[in-house]
Amino acid sequence: MTLLSVTGVSRRFGDVTALDDVSLDIVQGEFFALLGPSGCGKTTLLRVLAGFERPDTGTVTLDGADLLALPAHRRPVNLMFQSYALFPHMTVEKNIAYGLHREGLPKDEIRARVAGVLATIGLPGAAKRRPNQLSGGQRQRVALARAIVKRPRLLLLDEPLSALDKKVRAEMQLELKRLQHEVGITFVVVTHDQEEAMSLADRIAVFSEGRVEQVDAPVSLYRRPRTRFVADFVGANNLFDGVLRDGGVEVPGVGSGPLPCEPPGDLPAGSPVVLSVRPENVRFDDEGPLAGTVMDTSFFGGVSRVAVEVGGLTRPVELTVPGTAPADPGKPVRLSWNPDRAILIGPA
C-alpha cells in the first residue's frame, strides 16, 4: 500500500536546481533510502516532506491526502536532522518529551514513553543530562529517540550515521534496522554512502543532480543499473562506452574484437551503449578479447583486487579474484567475462 507519493516535484534556488521533476512512491512499512553524492538534493527533498521548503511545482500526498497543504507542525512526519538540532537548554528527557507534550498526552504516559525509548536507544542513565554533555554518538541516539517517540507515519532521517566512526556506525545500522522492525514505522533514510544504503534499505532511490536516476531493491540496483550514473555510483564497476553490434559491443580502439554482452533485447544494432561488468565477473582468460598489463594488486583477506591497464581505456579494468592475485604487476594478461554478466545500458 502506497504511503507517500511524490509526483513531479521541482525546487530551484537561483540557478541551482536542487530537485528536478522528482517522482517517488514509498510503501507503508518500508525502509527506503535516498542515495546520492553530496549536493544532489537529498536534504531538500526531506525538507519538502517535513514542510520547511515549498516545491516550485509538483504534489506530495500522504495516505492519499495532500501533504503540502499542512503546515510543518501539523504533519505526521518526523525528521531527524543531519545536525541533530537537539535543544541545548533542555535535558535529554525534556528533548524527547517535547513532541509528546505538544500532543497533549497525559504526564504518566509521557514519562512511560520517554523511559521506554531511552531504554530502546540504550541510554537509560542519560535522562537528566544536557546535549552538550553527550558524545556525538549519544546525541545521535537522542535525536533518533526524539523522532521515533512520536510514532509518526513517516520517519525521515538525514544522514543519521554520518558523524559516527566505522564501528559504532555498523552497530547503529543494525540498531536502526531492528528498530524499524520493532516499531513498524516507515523509514526514509538519506545517505551518500552506498554500502550503508545497500545494507539497510528495502528499496533505494539513486539521486544525481536533483533527478531520480533509478528506484529499485539493492540487489536489482546492483545487478541491473539502468543508467551510467547508477552503474558507476553503486558498487565498483567497469564501464565501456561503445556501439552495439551483432557479436557484442564494439569499443573503438579497445580489444581484439567486440566485447561479449548479454542478449540485447529490443536495442537495435548500431545503438550507442554503455557496457557494465562488475569486477567479480571479470576473469583472466588467455583467449579473452581484452589485452593489458597488471598495474596493481591488493589483498583484502579472502579476495584480491587487481587493476589491469588496457590500451585505449582511460580507467584500468578492475577485477576481484578469490584468494591471492595470480599475477604480479607488470605481467601481460588477457581478460574476459561471461556474456550474461555484462549488462547493457541503453542510450539515456
Could you say whether residue 24 binds ligand ADP (CB under 6 A)?
A: no
* Least distance to Mg ion, CB of residue 337, Å: 37
Measure the CA dihedral 285/276/215/212, to 10°.
160
| Residue of the chain from 3, 18, 22, 148 that contacts ligand ADP (CB under 6 A) | 18
Q: Does 214 bind Mg ion (CB under 5 A)?
A: no
Q: Using CB under 6 A, which of the segments 33-41, 285-293, 320-328, 340-348 binds ligand ADP?
A: 33-41
Count residues binding another protein (CB under 8 A).
28
Which residues have CB under 8 Å from 119's CB, separation 6+? none
Contacts of 62 (CB under 8 A, 6+ apart): 3, 4, 5, 75, 76, 77, 153, 154
Phi, psi of 65 (to 5 degrees): -100, 150
Which region, judged by CB under 5 A, interacts with Mg ion, from 42-50, 139-147, 230-238, 313-321?
42-50
- Measured at the CA of 266, the angle between CA 262 and CA 270, to 5 degrees, comes to 80
**18 neighbors 41 (Cβ within 8 angstroms):** yes
Candidates 91, 199, 227, 293; binder of another protein (CB under 8 A) is 91
CB 291, min distance to another protein, A? 56
15 contacts ligand ADP (rule: CB under 6 A): no
Q: Which of 31, 33, 43, 206 binds Mg ion (CB under 5 A)?
A: 43
Q: Out of 24, 30, 33, 44, which residue is the one contacting ligand ADP (CB under 6 A)?
A: 44
From 40-48, 59-67, 262-270, 338-346, span contacting Mg ion (CB under 5 A): 40-48
Nearer to another protein, 100 or 319 (CB): 100
* 13: contact with another protein by CB under 8 A: no
Among 8, 29, 39, 99, binds ligand ADP (CB under 6 A): 39
Q: Give the span between the Cα atoms of 341 and 281, in whole angstroms.
A: 7
Span near ligand ADP by CB under 6 A; candidates 11-19, 102-110, 176-184, 211-219: 11-19
Does the footprint of Mg ion cover residue 208 (CB under 5 A)? no
Q: Where are the alpha helices (DSSP H) in 149-241?
A: 166-183, 194-200, 218-223, 228-233
Distance CA 196, CA 213 (A): 18
Of 43 and 78, the one with the shorter C-beta distance to Mg ion is: 43
Among 68, 85, 163, 327, binds another protein (CB under 8 A): 85
Q: Which of 88, 84, 183 is nearest to 142 (CA)?
A: 84
∠ CA 253-258-261 to the nearest 5 degrees? 130
Closest to ligand ADP by CB, 13 or 87: 13
Residue from 7, 39, 70, 98 in contact with another protein (CB under 8 A): 98
Give bridge partners of residue 5 from the DSSP assignment: 25, 61
Say if CB 56 and CB 11 are below 8 A apart: yes
Q: Which residue number is nearest to ligand ADP in terms of Cβ? A: 43
Distance in angstroms (rounded) separating the CA atoms of residues 229 and 40: 13
Using CB atoms within 10 Å of the CB of residue 328, give its burial: 0 to 12 exposed, 13 to 18 middle, 19+ buried: exposed
User: For ligand ADP, how many residues bind (rule: CB under 6 A)?
Assistant: 11
For cell 554503455, name the residue.
Answer: 274
Query: What's the Cα-to-Cα distance from 258 to each of 122, 238, 288, 294, rounded to whole Å?
Result: 57, 16, 11, 22
Site residues for another protein per CB under 8 A: 50-52, 71-74, 77-79, 81, 83, 85-89, 91, 98-99, 102-103, 128-130, 133, 146, 150
Instruction: Note the residues at the interface with ligand ADP (CB under 6 A).
Output: 13, 16, 18, 36, 38-44
Residues lying near Mg ion in the complex (CB under 5 A): 43
